[in-house]
Amino acid sequence: MSVPLCPTSAINDPGSKGFEVEYNGHTFSLFVVHKDGQFHAFINRCPHTGVNLDWQEHQFLDLDETFIQCSTHDALFEVATGLCISGPCIGDALTPVELIESNNTLNAVLPDIPMP
């Protein structure tokens, strides 16, 4: 089941946006990054401590807008894969969320159970 998030034009390239989505009795905190014409979505949860990644509302990218950056320990994650390349959780990865782009709208495909 997919849940509409926003129009594709709502996220600059490069840019990011966070979402709280109610689905099937559960709340999902996730975010979308738009970079190099591609959209990537992940659960908003650091694999190191479980905290939310955004350091300001809708700000998930580092200052150079090259990597996803954790607000707590400055871990850096690849945008395309969610793989941690710097920080206390090197080798771990963010939990991806499948996106479907339809009629210039981003839709998240969410599981039937809450994510960790």
Which amino acid would we find at residue 114?
Answer: P
CA–CA gap between residue 35 and residue 115 (Å, rounded): 25
For 63, residues 6+ apart whose C-beta sits below 8 A from its C-beta are none
SS3 9: helix
Low-confidence ranges of the chain (pLDDT < 70): 112-116
- The closest alpha carbon to 1, from 115, 102, 110, 113, belongs to 110
Domains and CATH numbers, the chain: 2-109 (2.102.10.10)
pLDDT at 97: 95
Q: What is the tens place of the pLDDT at every residue in 16-42?
A: 999 999 887 888 899 999 999 999 999
Name the pTM for this structure: 0.92
